[in-house]
Structure formats: structure tokens, C-alpha cells
Amino acid sequence: MSAHAEPTTQQEVSHEATLFAEPIAHAGPFVITNSLVMSWATVLALVVAFMFIGKKMQRVPRGLQNIFEILLEQAFGLADTVTGSRAKSEKFLPIVLALFLFILINNWLGLLPGVGTVGFVETEGGHSAFVPILRGGTADINTTLAISLFAVITSHLFGVISLGIWKHLNKFVNIHAFMEIPKKIKEDPVIVLVNPIKAFVGIIEMVGELAKVASLSLRLFGNIFAGEVLLASMMAIFAFILPLPFMFMEIIVGMVQALVFSILTLAFFGIATSAEEH
């Protein structure tokens, strides 16, 4: 009698950094991803923090309130250099600061221990993959694209409110330039050449608006995602000492990227609310 031993196979589990967020739960038709959970955590942390700060506010600032007021004044000074107007800064800064804090906290939460490393194994079609329960919100292109769309669409809303829908629309579809040709052609025949060029520039502006969305979203996503991949690679080589300098570098990169995104958004708001001749 002979004994036949069945061969044992050990299935490998892949630990790949994906460009998309992985689903970890479902609420009916709504998919909950690991990056969405981190975005919710960021919003919750900001709401709780500012509710606590709001209760401690005093007419005569002391301690942390003093520091926050100094930072706010510096933020207004920086905003004034971009918008050129304190009135515009007061209008735009609440939105821009909210974006800055949301992006900054999201960037930094992605560096916490356990984020990207604690999860479960999902098997599909004979292939097993590790799915982290938490993932940095801004390391998901869906999040950065949503923030970028919000920033660009809000800039157009400010443009319509400040200039009116007709003036704002003529920045892109310059109907006014064509309407001026019959009126001024006798006085200035060159207008036949100049005004169609203005209309063509408006079409380029429309392309530029799409480029703004791509630029804002891809810059933020690319830097944060690359940082996560870098840290994961360093930890795979040396688990403790070597990743620390890269961790500090990512803290700085997270702040810089949040600042760049916010300043560009502020600049877009200022441009959208300026008349075409300016």
C-alpha cells in the first residue's frame, strides 16, 4: 500500500499600492472606501477641535487663542498679497482656510501608525490582496479631484456673483466681442481682426479651466501618493530608524502641498472676480 501526499500550495498575498481607494464596506448602494473613512475622520476632528476652541474664546485673547489670532492675521496678510484687496480676502479666506486645514490634516493623518498597514486579506479569482482599512484621503485621486472641482466651480460662482453672469460668461464665450463689430467697424476697421481673436482667447480660457482641475488634483495626489509609496518602501528595507527622516520630510511636504493648493485656489477666486479688462 502506498501513501500519496497531496502537494500543499502557499498562496501569496500581494501588497500593492493602488491608485484607487479600496472598498471596505457597503451601505446599500453606497460604497465606503478606506480613504473616505479618513476624510470623515478629518472632518470630525476639525469640527470637534473648533467646537472646543469656540467655547474657550475670550474678548481678551490668552494662550492658544493668542497664537491662533496671530496665525489668522498672518493668513490675512498673505491673502492680501494674492487678492490685492482686504475685502476680497475677508470674503475668500474662510473657504480657503477650510480647504487648507482639510488637506493638511488629511495629509498628516496618512502618516499615522497603522494607516495603510492594518487591514484584511481579500481573495478574488484565486488572487489574494491586502486591503488596508485606513488610507490617507489625499492619496486617493477621487478625493483630490473632488476638492479641485469644488475649488474651480466655487471660483466661477464668485465670478458670477461679483461681475454678473453676462460679464463672467463673456470671459469664455465672448459674444460681446462679436456684437461690437457692426457698431465700431466704421470707426475702427481693425476690430474685424481683433475681436475674433478675443473670442478665440475665450475658448483657450475654457481649456485653461479644465487644466486647473487637472493641475490641482494631480499635483496634490501625486505628491501624497508618492510619499506613501516611498515610506512603505523604506519600511520594507529598514523597519525603524531609516524611515524617520522620510517621515519628517513627508510632514513638511504635506504642509507645503496644502499651502500651494490653498494659494492657487485663492488666486483663482481673485482672477474670477476681476473684470476681463483687468
pLDDT value at position 68? 82
Read off the pTM.
0.80
pLDDT value at position 105? 92
Query: At 250, phi and psi to the nearest 5?
Result: -70, -30
**Kind of pairing between the strands at 13-14 and 119-124:** unpaired
pLDDT value at position 4? 45
- The C-alpha cell that represents 269 in the structure block: 477666486
pLDDT value at position 157? 93
**Kind of pairing between the strands at 119-124 and 127-132:** antiparallel
pLDDT value at position 125? 59
Type and span of the H or E element at 131: strand 127-132
pLDDT value at position 12? 55
Helices 34-55 + 141-163 axis angle, to 10: 50
pLDDT value at position 262? 93
Query: At 132, phi and psi to the nearest 5?
Result: -70, 145
Mind listing the pLDDT tens digit of every residue in the chain (278 residues)? 444 444 444 455 555 566 677 888 888 888 888 888 889 999 999 999 888 887 877 777 777 778 888 888 999 999 999 888 888 899 999 999 999 999 999 998 888 877 767 767 766 656 666 777 888 888 888 899 999 999 999 999 998 998 888 888 777 776 666 666 666 666 666 666 666 666 676 777 788 888 899 989 989 988 888 877 777 777 666 655 666 777 788 888 889 999 999 999 999 998 888 875 54
pLDDT value at position 132? 77
Type and span of the H or E element at 191: helix 191-237
- The C-alpha cell that represents 71 in the structure block: 496665525
pLDDT value at position 248? 82
Residue 116 in contact with residue 135, Cβ under 8 Å?
A: yes
* Amino acid identity, position 253: V
Rounded to whole angstroms, the Cα distance separating 223 from 231 reads 12
Which residue in the block uniquely carries the three cell numbers 457597503? 26
